[in-house]
Structures are given as structure tokens and as C-alpha cells.
Structure 1
Amino acid sequence: MAALRWFLSDMTEPLFWASDLAAIGLLAGAALAWWAGRRGRTWAGSLTYGTGLWPWVLASASLSLLLSNLAFGWMLDDGWQPTFVPFVCVAPAMVLLYGAGWKTCVTGAFLGAATTTPLALLFIPAVSTPLGLPVVVANVLAMSVGSVLAFMVARRLPWLALQEPVRPPEPGRPPEPHRPPSSVHRSFRHDAAWAARRVLKDFTETHFFANELAGIGVMLAVAGAFVLNPALPSYGTNLLPHILFAQALTSAIGVVLWQRWYRDGGWAATYASVVSVAPAAVLAYGGSWSAMVGGAVLGAVLAPPLARLVSARLPAGFHPVIGNTAAMAVSTAAALPLLGLLPH
């Protein structure tokens, strides 16, 4: 039972909440969105970018997480280990690049577990500890470097064929209706509703779900976990409310600041600070107001354009998760020392 709870907790560890209950909420919300989407319910929003690949994304990510735990779980006797890292990078990205099927699913799962977790174990003592940086810097750097290595290998595997980068609508629903309009006639009410839904999506963007119902599910469930045990979801700090506030704030600032990139089918990595700078600042400086607001602002300003800059220069066959996670590492490494200059 302890191993199962750790496995589930790993699913929400990227959000800085290690909670099996939150993972159940995440999966329940995504499953509801999948069920509703298959029946043409527009209120469900898009799931996994409207590709219809959510079951395969979840399967490959879960298998990669399982392999990571089997290979490195024995090290847990010595304390915490970053067994969660493959769940949110190589495996789901491989499915989006190479399409559905067991060959893609298993290959992505294996490559993710074989690259990202060992690199995280290496980078924590080699990068984060000597530089006095939070562990998240090593983790997301491992995701970025590991993804590069995995996609280099994938390009040479004869059983994988790169798919066309299309995003078809899910059955019964027009493609992605919740984007900011480019028309001059758009209303404030419409913009506010879109922004709110975009913030909810950002809470599950790192899982490649990017869905409002999944976002609501994971947040309601982690709130329940906090009520049951305030220390459990946030590494014993009791700072879950502070983390949630900073995450919502950094997403909202990023969505407003970079909304032009979302127009007419575009996208921006406004989620990047949600899973790096903002929560790391809260934990580093004890949940002070300067940490919550400062981390949210710096993360929203730095991470999305950095992610865009790196991702735009990637060749075919290399998923933008490389640029997104690299931006997380650089932004966190730059922002936290600056925040240390503020009173807390």
C-alpha cells in the first residue's frame, strides 16, 4: 500500500504537492473530461490539446513512472528521490510526436525512465547542492537534457515514425473554442472567462492534460488532503495555501502578460512558473508575501519567453518540453537569488 501511495503521489509531485488523494482528483477530472469530450460536451474543454491521445499519454507516462519507481525506488530508504520526473516529460511527449500505439507507449516509457531519473539523481548533488539552488532546478534540468537524449535515440529507432504535428478536434466538438479572440469586438467578460479557464489548464499542463476539469479535480482533492493533514501535501511545511496562491497568481499574470501568443491558435508556456519559480520561492522563503508575489511575478515574466525562445530553435522530432523545462531551470536559478535580496 505504501508503494502504491508513493506511486500516486509522484503524479502530483511536479506541482509541489505530493498527495495520492490529489492524484486521484487529477485522474478523475481528466477521465470526466475524456468521457464528456467523447460525447461532444463543450463544457469539458479540450484534453491533451484536442489530439484524442489522452489514454496513450496517460499509459506511457504511468508506465515510465512505474519503471522509475522499480529501478530507483530501493533508494527511498535513504530519503526522498526524484522518481516522479519521467511522468511529465519524455513519455507523454513521445506519444504526441510519434502517435498512439504500444510501440510508442513502451518506447517512450523506457527512454524516459532510463534518462531523466538518473540525470536528476546526478544533477541534485552536482548542480543544485553546490550552487545553493532548490532541487527543482536539478529536476527540470534533468527533464530537459533527458528529453534531448531520448528524442535523439527515438529518431534512430526503425519502429517509430514521426507524425504530422496536427491537432484534430475531438469527436463532436469544434477545435479549441477557448482562446482569446483577435477581434476588436471581444468583450471583457469573454476575456475574463477565457483567462480563468486558461489558469485552470495551467495546473495540468505539465501532465500534458491541459484541461480545466482535471485542474479543478486536482485542486479540490489537494484541498481535501490539506484538511485531513495540513503538513502532508507540502513536504511537512503547512504551506500548501501559500503555494496554491503563488501558482494561481503566476499563471494569471502570465496569461494576461502573454495572451497575444495564444491568439489564433497559438500557445505560451504560462504554466512553466506554476511548477518551478513560484512554488520554489514559497518553500525557499517560508511563504512570506514577498516570496509569494515576487516569485509569481518573476516567474511569469521570465519563464514563458525563455521557453518560447528555446523551443523555436528545436529541430523536428524534438518536443517543446525541452525548451519549457530548460526555461524552468534558468528562471528558477535566476529568480531565487534575486528574491533573497528582499525582506522576508
Structure 2
Amino acid sequence: MSDTTRTLRAAGAPVPALPPAAARWLAGAALVTATAVLAVLLARATDGLPHVLPGYARWQDEAYAGVPQFLRWWIGDATEPQFFKSAPGGIAMIAGGWLAHTAARRGRRWAGFPLACGSGLWPWLLYSAVLGLLLSDLAWGWTIPATGRWQPTFVPFVSVPPAVVLVYGAGWSVAVTGAVLGAALATPAALVVTNFFCLPLHLPNVIGCVTGMWAGALLAFLICRHLPWMPGPLPAARTGEPSATVPGRGGFGAGWVVRRVLADFTEAQFYGNELASAGLIGATVVVYLLNPLTPVYGSTLLPALLTAQVLAGTLGVLLYHRRWAALGWYPTFVPVVSLAPAVVLTYGGTVQAVVAGAVCGAVAGPPLAALISRRLPADFHPFIGNVASMAVCTLVAVPLLGLLPGFASTL
């Protein structure tokens, strides 16, 4: 406590409140510090613990061995955007989304940020995304045992199907159309780029995944214009971005920063909600404690990866706070699900990898995403700009970081 503060309190005078900007940055610093401490504790807690769950290698080998194994793989695909690959995480995320959706419909204040871009279409978004993921795994899952490697079958869950629903609205014709287009266009595009570009050039797979998303979405929305059973785009299609214009009683202050960083973990799934994110992260951490070789593709890098993601999200929210306040939404989640974790998986869980990936992603990712999205046609969902930004930032930053001392690729 400063001498000035002591003097004011002794005199009974009101003590000036902490400036909002300082409060936000202190809240961000506290969040990052707490995550780093948790990461250290997680890394130490697993020493000597029995591996209750099977490791990732066995999980992948058995993915198509039977119905239970397939269902586990399919549900785990729902968490691929965060690089978690966690079936319990997928279940907990969807359960958190359902809880938030139900709470919002009943007017509960604890419901958190609105799901599905504040459209009320979350159930239909979920139906289309789940169906698209199922079709993708059934149609393209053979590539996993055929190559003996991971493949981007998860792509429709976070791209074309939910985006089509958000642009064209509710109904089975829209949901099924989005699901089919996602599995037929986005997944094969991601497979081609991942296997014939990323793999031979030793680049992160996320480049292939998000390239499949934006390329498949461009084709899908062009096709939707000519499908006779599709309704016209919703009036709010051009602003089909998460509605977070009402920050709550505390305004866009310290508490909002923490909530927003947490919610950004599930923006890739078009949830953008704290309850869904808490379920996703909490269940994945439990999986890590049961066997650190299960989540994040058996790399044991969950603690470092989670730290990089929180740091990237926090820096993005703090740096572009004015954009949030002015526009109601800004794509600060972009580095959380692309460059930050990609750098950790490429160069290991070192301090320099965690910090460099987070900082580069937080600075460059959101404004590039916003720039691209503003130039899309009215009936093309703005998520296309987000994933295009992920592709560009990762493609540029990861090789450049490899030229610096202390960055040795593990790919």
C-alpha cells in the first residue's frame, strides 16, 4: 500500500479506484501466472501416477476397430481445434454448451456469453456439426489406418456445417446440407493439403486443417446460392459473429477479461462460452492426470500448450480491448487455436516456444482475420477470414521462428 493511499484512508477520504486499463492488465497477468503455476503442478503431479487410460497411440490404432472405439474417436474429434483430442473433453464441452443454452433461455445471469453468435441457433448448429463430423469420419476415416497417421477428419465440426446454419437459419434442410457439404468439401481439401504439403515440408498440420476449412467454405457458400431448397440468408448473416456486446455489470473490465479469455477457447466451435470452455479444459486436465500420454496426441505437452493458449488469448483480449468495446466482438481467439499451440507442438514446451507463439499470434492473428472477414460477400460467414488468418500466420511464423537460436523442430 502506498503512502498516499494510507494518508487518504486515515483522513477518511475516498481512495481512487485502480485505472480500468491497469486493472485489466493486472487481471490478465494474474490469469497467465495462475495458468503457468497450474502447468508446473500438472507436470509434476503425473510423476509416478498409474496410467489409468490407454495412451493416444493405442487410441489411434483402435479408432476403427469397433463401435465403442469409433465413438470415442468421433467424440474426441470435437476437441481437435484446441489440439486436445479428448473424448471426455468433447462430452464436457457440449454439456457445458447445453447448460449455457438452457440457462440463457431461462434468463439466468450466469449463462455467460451467448452461444452460436447470439443467434439462438445453437441446437441446429450442434445437429449440423455433429452430423458433418460423423459423415466425415465415416467417409474419410479409412485414411487413418491406411496411412498409420493422424488425419484431419474433424474439420467439418468447426467449419462449413455450423457456418451454413448461422447464415441460412434453422431447419433440417439447412443442417443436413451444411453437414454434407462440410464432409464432401472441407475434409478432402484438408486431407490433400495436410498430406501433400504440410507433411513433406515438415509444417504444422493445422495449416492443412484450416486451409481445408476456408477453401471448403468458399465452395460451399457458392454452391448454397444455387440450391433450390435453401432459404435466403438471414438478415444478420453479414454480422454473423459472436454477440458479446453486453459485457455484464462490470463492463469491459478485469472480470470481463478473464471471462473472455476463457470463452475464446470454444470460439472455434462457434460456442464462445465460459461454461463450455470450462468443461472442455477441466475434463481434458482430468484425462491428463489419468494418463499424460492420452491428450494432445500423446505428446505430454498439455501444460505448456495450455499456458501458451492462455497467454495468447490474454494478450489478444488486452491488446484489442478497444476493438471489443467498439464492435462487440473481435477474433482474439485466432491464435488460441492455431499459432500458439502449433509452435509448442513444433518446437517443444520450452519457455521461448510458449512466449513466441503466443505473442506473435496475439499481435498478428486477430487484425488479419478481421481484415479478411470484412471483404467477404454478405452470404459468406466471416469465420472464413478467421481460419484464413490462422493459415497465413502459422505458415509464416513457424518457419521464421525456426531460424532463431533455441528453436529446434520436433516434426
TM over 0.5: yes
1:9 has 2:79 as partner: no
| Displacement of 1:63 | 0.3
Partner-residue secondary structure (3-state), 2:228: coil
Equivalent position of 2:272 in the other structure: 210
Distance in 2 between residues matched to 1:73 and 1:145, nearest whole Å: 20
Equivalent position of 1:171 in the other structure: none
| Displacement of 1:176 | 4.4
Matches for 1:99-248 after TM superposition, within 5 Å: 99-160=169-230, 161-165=232-236, 176-178=245-247, 191-248=253-310
Question: Residues 235-276 of structure 1: CA distance to partner in whole angstroms, max 9, x if unpaired?
Answer: 111000111110011000000111111114432111111111
1:343 has 2:411 as partner: no
| Displacement of 1:132 | 2.7
Do 1:48 and 1:211's aligned partners in 2 also have CA atoms closer than 8 Å? no
Shift of the 175–230 alpha-carbon distance from structure 1 to 2, 3 Å rule, reads: closer
Q: Which amino acid aligns with 1:269?
A: P
Q: Which amino acid aligns with 1:27?
A: I
Partner-residue secondary structure (3-state), 1:205: coil
How many residues matched? 332
Equivalent position of 1:289 in the other structure: 351
Equivalent position of 1:42 in the other structure: 109
Do 2:244 and 2:329's aligned partners in 1 also have CA atoms closer than 8 Å? no
Distance in 2 between residues matched to 1:327 and 1:15, nearest whole Å: 16
1:261 has 2:323 as partner: yes
Question: Residues 15-34 of structure 1: CA distance to partner in whole angstroms, max 9, x if unpaired?
Answer: 10111011011011111101
Distance in 1 between residues matched to 2:166 and 2:135, nearest whole Å: 20
Q: Which amino acid aligns with 2:93?
A: L
Q: Which amino acid aligns with 2:233?
A: L
Distance in 1 between residues matched to 2:200 and 2:282, nearest whole Å: 37
TM-score norm. by structure 2 comes to 0.78
Equivalent position of 1:318 in the other structure: 380
Following superposition, which runs of at least 4 residues in structure 1 exceed 4 angstroms of deviation?
none
| Displacement of 1:338 | 2.3
1:64 has 2:127 as partner: no
Distance in 2 between residues matched to 1:262 and 1:23, nearest whole Å: 28
Equivalent position of 2:314 in the other structure: 252
1:86 has 2:156 as partner: yes
Equivalent position of 2:336 in the other structure: 274
| Displacement of 1:328 | 0.2
Distance in 1 between residues matched to 2:399 and 2:294, nearest whole Å: 27
Distance in 2 between residues matched to 1:241 and 1:318, nearest whole Å: 36
TM-score norm. by structure 1 comes to 0.93
Q: Which amino acid aligns with 1:214?
A: A
Distance in 1 between residues matched to 2:297 and 2:244, nearest whole Å: 39
| Displacement of 1:145 | 0.6
Structure 1: any 5+ residue segments left out of the alignment?
A: 169-173
Question: Residues 37-83 of structure 1: CA distance to partner in whole angstroms, max 9, x if unpaired?
Answer: 11100111122222111000000000000000110112221322111
Distance in 1 between residues matched to 2:326 and 2:282, nearest whole Å: 31
Q: Which amino acid aligns with 2:94?
A: L
Shift of the 90–179 alpha-carbon distance from structure 1 to 2, 3 Å rule, reads: farther
Shift of the 91–179 alpha-carbon distance from structure 1 to 2, 3 Å rule, reads: farther
| Displacement of 1:155 | 1.0
Distance in 1 between residues matched to 2:78 and 2:162, nearest whole Å: 13
Distance in 2 between residues matched to 1:319 and 1:276, nearest whole Å: 19
Do 2:116 and 2:271's aligned partners in 1 also have CA atoms closer than 8 Å? yes
Distance in 2 between residues matched to 1:111 and 1:298, nearest whole Å: 33
Larger Rg: 2
Do 2:361 and 2:393's aligned partners in 1 also have CA atoms closer than 8 Å? yes
Q: Which amino acid aligns with 2:307?
A: F
Given the alignment, which residue of 82, 85, 88 partners 1:18? Answer: 85
Q: Which amino acid aligns with 1:85?
A: V
Distance in 1 between residues matched to 2:328 and 2:156, nearest whole Å: 26
| Displacement of 1:129 | 2.6
Distance in 2 between residues matched to 1:157 and 1:112, nearest whole Å: 15
Partner-residue secondary structure (3-state), 2:247: coil
Do 1:290 and 1:342's aligned partners in 2 also have CA atoms closer than 8 Å? no
Do 2:245 and 2:325's aligned partners in 1 also have CA atoms closer than 8 Å? no
Structure 2: any 5+ residue segments left out of the alignment?
A: 1-67
Do 1:50 and 1:176's aligned partners in 2 also have CA atoms closer than 8 Å? no
Q: Which amino acid aligns with 1:35?
A: T
Shift of the 61–293 alpha-carbon distance from structure 1 to 2, 3 Å rule, reads: same
Distance in 1 between residues matched to 2:249 and 2:236, nearest whole Å: 22
Return 252-261 or 126-135, whichever deviates more: 126-135
